[in-house]
Homo-oligomer: A and B are copies of this chain.
Amino acid sequence: MLIVQKFGGTSVGSVDRMRNVAQRCIAAQQAGHQVAVVVSAMSGETNRLLGLARQVHDDVNDREVDVIIATGEQVSVGLVALAIRAAGGKARSFLGHQVKIVTDSAFSRARIVSIDAEPLRECFASGEIAVIAGFQGVDEHGNITTLGRGGSDTTGVAIAAALKADVCEIYTDVDGVYTTDPNVVPSARKIDRISYEEMLELASLGAKVLQLRSVEMGMKFGVPIHVRSSFSESEGTWVVPEDSKMEAIAVSGVTVARDEAKITVEDLPDTHGIAWRIFAALADASIVVDMIVQNQAYDGTVDLTFTVPSLDHKRSMETLIAQVPDLVGRAGERIKADNDICKVSVVGVGMRSHAGVAKRMFELLAQENINIQLISTSEIKISCIIARKYAELAVRVLHDGFGLAGA
């Protein structure tokens, strides 16, 4: 088999842990596999480097910031390759420009365009383990780029896709993907197999275990992803194409996101172009809007409610007051803001064939007297905005109500 193993910052957080990583790679090779390892910067290193850059310049979306923070992964690949050699194995490190991970030129959040797998194949042919820097690439002009937070997951899956690997193993500090946060719901179960679509929803809804883009890429190229613990040998969670067995289960997971805030603009004129002006103002300020609901009142006005990241809460209101004072009032008097919310969601490909999931979700919340403020749905997900104080209660009720609790 050809195996790609990706180790995050915690898994390479010390010289001892790197030795542990080296042992795992060598064991896989000795079991007869070809092994490529993708590593992140040692935990804390990216933040240290960003801190240095910020002391010098406050613009962190800069070509030079990528030059600086890409060194974190460079140190890691050198050390892991050395650790493999010290343990008697053969290894060679590859930086983004050496394995030609070509990206676009969007510094600090670049997207992978292509990968040249040839140097890696040569490496395998000479019996070496390829140790590849995650998170970094190079644009068509030879500038160093980085992929954004969690980008090493994406590197791992992209390398697996380029090599047509049999599996991309994502090693992390938890032992897989859970039906919900085990810290909140002790009965949470590890999921053995989950579809790319469900994993995408879970990742975008706040399950932090895999980066969203890595799941998208796995789905696009059909790379089986195995999320597992770097501290144990047990099987983790396989993220794979949907199969009929998965559809037998209506709901696979429950998530909660606490990092959104709600904004309502009241008494807007009921004419065309209003929503466009409001969301254009926010988009120009690079504020990402999540859920949107518009209600028509009986007096010929409309109320517009939407959610934004908590961090952009204040800036959103300032932007609206500055850009569209005729709609929100010069002092923003028509804006009602609520930072005290959360979003609970249930996810499952089985929803497509199971009627009544939404009804059951609203019923479970109503039984606990939890008021639903906003609802949004996708084919395999239902999300509700509720008061933040009910976050844990709602997750527990939904998790157990949909029969996700472990035996």
Which A residues contact B (CB, under 8 angstroms)? 15, 18-19, 49, 52-53, 55-59, 62-65, 67-68, 70-71, 74-75, 77-79, 81-83, 85-86, 91-93, 95, 97-98, 142, 144
Copies in the complex: 2
Q: A53 touches which one: B57, B79, B93, B97 (CB < 8 A)?
A: B79
Task: Find the residue from A49, A64, A74 having the highest chain B CB count within 10 A.
Answer: A64
Contacts of A144 in B (CB 8 A): 95
Bound CA span A53–B77, Å: 11
A64 and B82 in contact, given A71-B74, A75-B71 (Cβ under 8 angstroms): yes
Interface of A is mostly: helix
* Interchain nearest-CB distance for A36 vs B (Å): 16
Q: How far is the CB of A126 from chain B (nearest CB, A)?
A: 13
Contact call B86/A79, Cβ cutoff below 8 A? no
CB neighbours of A77 from chain B (8 A)? 64, 67
Asked if A75 contacts B57 (CB within 8 A), the reply is: no
When the two chains form their complex, are residues A56 and B79 in contact, meaning their CB atoms are under 8 A apart?
yes
- Does B67 contact A74, Cβ atoms closer than 8 Å? yes
| Subset of 11 A-B contacts with CB under 8 Å | A53-B82, A56-B83, A56-B86, A57-B85, A63-B93, A64-B79, A67-B74, A67-B95, A71-B74, A71-B75, A95-B144
Give min CB distance, A132 to chain B, whole Å.
Answer: 12
Min C-beta distance of A330 to chain B, whole Å: 36
- Residues of the B chain whose Cβ atoms lie less than 8 Å from the Cβ of A58: 86
Whether B52 contacts A64 by the Cβ 8 Å rule is no
C-alpha gap A64/B97 in the complex (Å): 16
Question: Per a CB cutoff under 8 Å, which of B67, B82, B142 touches A57?
Answer: B82
Residues B83 and A57 in contact, CB atoms below 8 Å apart: yes
Contact B74 A57 (CB under 8 A): no
Contact partners of A63 in chain B: CB under 8 A: 92-93
Of all chain B residues, the one with the shortest Cβ separation from A74 is B71
Please measure, in the bound complex, the distance between the C-alpha atom of A167 and the C-alpha atom of B144, giving whole angstroms: 30
CA distance A70 to B133 in the complex (A): 15
- Contact B64 A68, beta carbon cutoff 8 Å: no
CB-based contact A82/B97 at 8 Å: no
Given contacts A53-B79, A57-B86, contact A98 B68 (CB under 8 A): no
Question: A62 CB to closest chain B CB, in angstroms?
Answer: 7
A84 CB, min distance to chain B CBs, angstroms: 9
Please give, as numbers and ranges, the residues of chain B lying within 8 Å of A97 by CB-CB distance: 97, 142
Name A15's contact: one of B55, B75, B79, B82 (CB within 8 Å).
Answer: B55
Residues of B with C-beta under 8 A to A64: 77-79, 81-82, 85, 91, 93
Partner of A98, one of B15, B19, B74, B142: B142
A15 to B19, CA, bound (A): 34
State A18–B68 Cα separation when bound (angstroms): 14
Nearest Cβ in chain B — how far from A72, in angstroms? 8
The answer to whether A68 and B78 have CB atoms under 8 Å apart is yes
